[in-house]
Amino acid sequence: MSFFESISQLPEDPIFSIPLLFKSDPRPRKVNLGIGNYRDAEGFSHSLTCVKKVEREIAERNDPNEYLPIDGHAEFLKVSQELIFGQALQLSSNSFFAAQSIGGTGALRIGAEFLTQETSKAIFLPNPTWPNHKLVFSRSGMKVHFYRYYDEASQSLDFVGLRNDISNMPPGSTLLLHVNCHNPTGINPSYEQWKELSALIKQQKIIPFFDFAYQGFADNPEKDAEPIRLFVSEGHEMLLAYSFSKNFGLYSHRLGIFFMTINHKETISKVSSQIKQMIRSSYSNPPKLGADIVMEILKSDTLKEEWLKELANMRDRLIQMRHALRSGLQAKASHKDWSFLNRQKGFFSFCGLDQGQVHRLIKDYAIYLPANGRINVSGLNPQNIDYVIDAIVDVAHS
């Protein structure tokens, strides 16, 4: 007899199972277009030169291993706020709270638990969205709903459907929004559409919760931050989950930040007390090394410039691979208009493949990607791009 024998067996995570399946595949010609970490032109996980430089300097300093405060590294939080929000915070009448988190996912979980306990139990997610969003919010006790976002027929943003669904959301609901590089579609509103959404969300008395995991991968760090700076400048009370995994290559450091803007200054201390108690009862306080690395880079004009150049190189390679994919597909499957691929930005691309076609890519070609057909564009490189194009053309015709 076991106390735990009645526990249900849950399926493996569909994203994190892809690297394991890929690794165990004995075929010499195989391609991993699955999990969303950046790969260089040779197909290897990429470490930034500026990050490695700072890691060596920190190691040589032999700093003491002390606990950080519950809400994290204060100086890291300060320089990160400047990167993300620019002058918007100084121009806003709202008060502001920030806490270091265990990656962007940890920041989402902090916000979800706070909302469940204190404010709102209903959250609306875009359809489609990153699969873990549903798990994070439902496991935190929130009731998950979906709003229209992607129009499969036109392979573009369903802005009319999005607006209509927001107009029907109950006041006090929470609305999750991808700031840029939407996962999985690569499609986001234009700046003019963000202005419309800001006005509508304020009119409907809805709480925006931004997920910002790809700053610098759509256009550049400043332009990519425009939507949240707009919302801050227009006085929204809002939440934001931020990740440094992609743009600093700090995947294993699990470095993120949770932000809130509040209309009443006296409420900040109450929010802070609640958030810090959640953190204390969960992981107690965040790790230090990743925060030290980012702080050192953002404080130094030279290192920051080096980081911006490395980030631009990664972004440019994604753009080149996306254009190569589109050009190749257009040349070999000209019966279809593939121009929608060039409207997508960031790591991910929807190529219009269904689950059966994805299964064939894995089975016949050892090309691994999630069942929804989302590809990680950085998994493409000059050595495999033609092979991937030929495989997509083949399965798309079947």
How many Cα neighbours within 13 Å face the side chain of 267?
10
**Is 246 designated active site?**
yes
Angle at 378 between CA 373 and CA 379, to 5 degrees: 65
Helix (H) or strand (E) holding 48: none
Strand-pair category, 348-350 with 374-376: antiparallel
Report the candidate in 283, 285, 238, 279 with the shortest Cα–Cα distance to residue 113.
Answer: 279
Sign of CA dihedral 106, 100, 118, 128: negative
Q: Which of 130, 194, 307, 338 is catalytic?
A: 130
Q: Tell me how far apart the alpha carbons of residues 214 and 131 are, in angstroms, rounded to a whole number.
A: 17
**What's 43's DSSP letter?**
S
Q: Which of 71, 158, 165, 211 is catalytic?
A: 211
Q: Tell me how far apart the alpha carbons of residues 83 and 311 are, in angstroms, rounded to a whole number.
A: 14
Sign of CA dihedral 315, 320, 325, 330: positive
Instruction: Please name the residue that has the structure tokens 């699990």.
Output: 254
**Is 130 designated active site?**
yes
Strands (E), the chain: 31-32, 95-102, 122-127, 143-148, 150-151, 156-157, 174-178, 207-212, 238-243, 255-262, 348-350, 367-368, 374-376
Q: Which of 165, 194, 246, 288 is catalytic?
A: 246
Does residue 325 contact residue 388 with C-beta atoms inside 8 Å?
yes
**What's 213's DSSP letter?**
-
> How far is CA 355 from each of CA 306, 336, 369, 382, rounded to the nearest angstrom?
41, 19, 10, 26
Does residue 272 contact residue 41 with C-beta atoms inside 8 Å?
no
Burial of 118 (0-12, 13-18, 19+ CB in 10 A): exposed
| Two structure tokens written together for 375 | 């590809």
Helix (H) or strand (E) holding 273: helix 268-282
Catalytically annotated residues: 130, 211, 246
